[in-house]
Structure 1
Amino acid sequence: MSTRARTPATTAADDHLANSVTHRVADALAAIEAPDVVLAVTRRGRRTMMTAGTRTPATTTPPPTPRDELHYEIGSLTKTFTVLLLADLARTGVLSLDDPLAAHLPVLPLPHPDSRRITLRHLATHTAGLPRIPGDLVPGALLHPYTSGYARYDTELLLRTFARTRPRHRPGTRWHYSNFGVALLAPAMARASGTDYPTLLTTRVLRPLGLVGTTPGPAHTTASAIGHRRDGRTPAPAMDMGAFTGCGAVHSTPGDLLTYAEAHLTPEATPLSLPLRDVQIPQLRCGWRHRETHTLTWYHHPAPNGPMLFHSGATFGQQTFLGFHPASGTGVAALATRRGNRCRLVETAYDLLYALAADPGGGGADRTP
């Protein structure tokens, strides 16, 4: 286990709080089983970052990159970046959240009337009525679980598939998680702005927020985390998301994810203050008996002293979690190079954030169901 911390000038009370956070992070880290794990907390401007894992780094010259400096596949956490970009384009008048999707796509034959009713907001909030993935990806996913079917999907195929897909329900009436829907935001934003999605994301979100280690795709560096299959030993192939880049292709570092969380905690300190606030506004109720709330992009759960917002992501060999609690100024980032039932990364990180939210003074409390 290794620990790194960034601390400004502190008081005795600050030090007590930091020690409490450190102990909590260490306990949570011990509950996550994976070859590589990074668990990081930002709390009132102080950062605590700890790493561990079952993988023994090879003895090489130069030494291997520390776990907390690697670039990780963040999977569906990418969606929060894409929707923040959408909110920024809406704030600057490039488009409106309630524009019909069809208005920002090439002319398509849309035989199903509900397809023309789908708006950009519906896509962002998973209420467009589209399936989780296109139907023609399902057989391949079952037969070849570690082969990315997304890789063969270019934008032209994505749009053709959308044109022939009948929405499952009238847009805006039900919540149904959809990679397919969020993927369509990328070509829509590109057409509305005249700029491709990777360039848009880099120039309008990543650079303004100072996310120098975050890229809309592979980082093209030897410091990339290597994912593992469920056995914890077999390397998993890197994800190629094809036209689904906007819903799962971003790579990032633990430090950048904390910076991203801090931007949401203090939007006024960034160039994207209004979009960062917009993506935190509750939009709808979802889940069992509509007990859960969803913002434009974040899950929004009740917690002591105020709600906490979070999202997770997974690829073939990696998992991520990012959440924040505005009332206590707390953010939690968790990353691991394994996806599997025994990893427990998401639930452990969620419980850590809840515990920190429960007691802003640092003492904490048990999570109540």
Structure 2
Amino acid sequence: MPSDGSRHLRAAPATAGGAPCVQSPESAPDDAGPLRERLAEAVTASDAPHVVFALSRRGRRSVVSGGTVPSPPLARENLRYEIGSATKTFTGLLLARMIASGRLTGGEPAAALLDRGRRPGADPVTLAHLITHTSGLPALPAAFFLRGLPAWTTNPYARFPKDRVVDAFLRHRPRHRPGTRWRYSNFGVAVLGHALSTATGTPWEDLLTDQVLRPLGLGATTLRADDSGLDAPGHGRDGVSPVPAFDAGGFQAAGAVRATPHDLLTFLEAHLDPTGVSAHLAPALRAVRRAVLRRGIGHRHVHTIAWFRHPTDGGPMYFHSGATLGHQAFLGFRPDTGTALAAVCTRRFRAHDPFLATAYALLAQE
């Protein structure tokens, strides 16, 4: 971060002087100026090395980027960002597609899929339990912490590959009957990914690519970093210390997706209007908007198979956030206003972090 506290703001195409600008592929809406100002304010408020706020309103896109470090050689909005747990929205959509196609029901016992010949028992953990965080599994396997400790500040998940995830699941004995309590679980969604891969006989990366990424035209979305120069560099909580690219290990279904802001907007726009999407995916895109779980006092916390859902004055708002050791992401959409927001930044989550609050408020007010 510059010592004078200045911020480097950029959007494509770049403008002189570092002032934020907006990119819109269609004619700008009447409120383009105020919208540009709100996006620029959100970028500045996020206080991160690299930040992009990409918003689509009824098909018109506005993208503003910036950060606390000089602009990279490639425009920030063209880089790929790690979206962490927001990956679960892709996994939920994949499961919804498997159910809509009749290949699965969601009620399959995960252990029976992962360990052929195993009897499911009276109260098995099903695929539906895993995606809705009602499986009874903890956030992470008990052995994860000891195994990941040597790489805790770099890549702990890389030390827990698929075989360890599956073995930990098959050995686990839930304290509560599946389906009775909600507990957010990276472990559970990771197991779901392996169960879907086993059920289809397809490696997870190929399965997600064939069933979700390719049909939606998400050519700049992938599950691992490479040497192409397209991956945004991660940073620690201080916004300065470099963080290596995230390796999800055996937790790919829970957090491995990395994508450009434009691909993320394409993904969200498909949720807003499934009519222009592949006929095979349209039913699943509609399905992931339906409430499947309500919890808390007055059942105020509503979940779909892929999204958190909160009320607004005009209708429901769907969203999911995510973080890795060096990136953060917020994805959300509002059918009532036809608005989608993909916000990404390169800084590890910290206490009272402004990024998520800023992104949530921006979508809620649109």
Instruction: Give the whole-Å Cα distance in 1 for the aligned partners of 2:86 and 2:44.
Output: 23
Instruction: Check whether the contact 1:218–1:250 (CA below 8 A) recurs between aligned residues.
Output: no
How many residues end up aligned between the 2 structures?
Answer: 345
Aligned AA (1:8) = E
The residue aligned with 2:314 is 305
Is the 1:108–1:163 Cα contact (8 Å) retained in structure 2?
A: no
For the Cα contact (< 8 Å) 1:226–1:337, is it kept in 2?
yes
- Structure 1 window deviating more from structure 2 (147-156 vs 326-335): it is 147-156
> Could you tell which deviates more after superposition, 49-58 or 254-263?
49-58
Give the superposition deviation at 1:183. Answer: 0.4
- Tell me, in whole angstroms, the C-alpha distance in 2 between the residues paired with 1:264 and 1:150: 30
Counterpart CA distance in 2 for 1:31 and 1:147 is 27
Q: Cα distance 1:96–1:213, how it changes in 2: closer, same or farther (>3 A)?
A: same
Determine if contact 2:44/2:67 at 8 Å carries over to the other structure. no
- In structure 1, which of residues 221, 230, 234 is the aligned counterpart of residue 228 of structure 2? 221
The residue aligned with 2:23 is 5
Counterparts of 2:27 and 2:48, CA distance in 1: 34
Q: Displacement, 1:217?
A: 2.2
Counterpart for residue 41 of structure 1: 55
Q: Distance in 2 between matches of 1:293 and 1:342?
A: 24
Q: Which one of the candidate residues 6, 31, 35 is aligned to 1:17?
A: 31
User: Are 1:95 and 2:104 counterparts?
Assistant: yes
- Summarize the alignment of residues 159-198 of structure 1 with structure 2, pairs less than 5 Å apart: 159-198=166-205
What letter matches 1:6 in structure 2? Answer: S
In the alignment, the residues of structure 2 paired with residue 221 and residue 346 of structure 1 have an alpha-carbon distance, to the nearest angstrom, of: 29
Q: Which residue of 2 aligns with 1:61?
A: none
Does the Cα contact within 8 Å between 1:33 and 1:343 map onto a contact in 2?
no
2:45, 2:148 → 1: CA distance?
Answer: 30
Residue 117 of structure 1: SS of its match in structure 2?
coil
TM value normalised by structure 2: 0.89
SS in 1 for 2:64: strand
Contact preservation (8 Å) 1:33, 1:342? no
Give the aligned partner of residue 266 of structure 1.
273
Q: Which of 31, 55, 65 is matched with 1:51 structurally?
A: 65
What is the CA–CA distance in structure 2 between the aligned matches of 1:82 and 1:269, rounded to whole Å? Answer: 21
CA distance in 1, matches of 2:299, 2:206: 37
Deviation per residue, 1:226-276 (Å, 9 max, x gap): 111111111012111111111111110010111111000001111111001
Which secondary structure does the structure 1 equivalent of 2:235 belong to? coil
Question: Amino acid of the residue matched to residue 246 of structure 1?
Answer: A
Q: CA RMSD in A?
A: 1.9
User: Where does structure 1 lack aligned partners over 5 or more consecutive residues?
Assistant: 59-63, 357-369
Q: What is the letter of the counterpart of residue 138 of structure 2?
A: P
2:160 to 150, 153, 168: 153
Displacement after TM superposition at 1:143 (Å): 6.9
**3-state SS in 1 of match to 2:70:** coil
Cα offset, 1:194, TM superposition:
1.5
Q: Percent identity?
A: 46
Deviation, 1:220, is: 4.2
2:207 corresponds to: 200
Work out the CA distance in 1 between the residues paired with 2:180 and 2:35. Answer: 41
Partners in 1 of 2:143 and 2:315 — Cα distance?
42
Label 1:282 to 1:220 Cα distance change in 2 as closer, same or farther (>3 A). Answer: farther
Partners of 1:228 and 1:289 lie apart in 2 by 40
Give, in angstroms, the shift of residue 101 of structure 1: 1.3
**Per-residue CA distance 1:72-101 (angstroms, 9 max, x = gap):** 111011111111111111111221111221
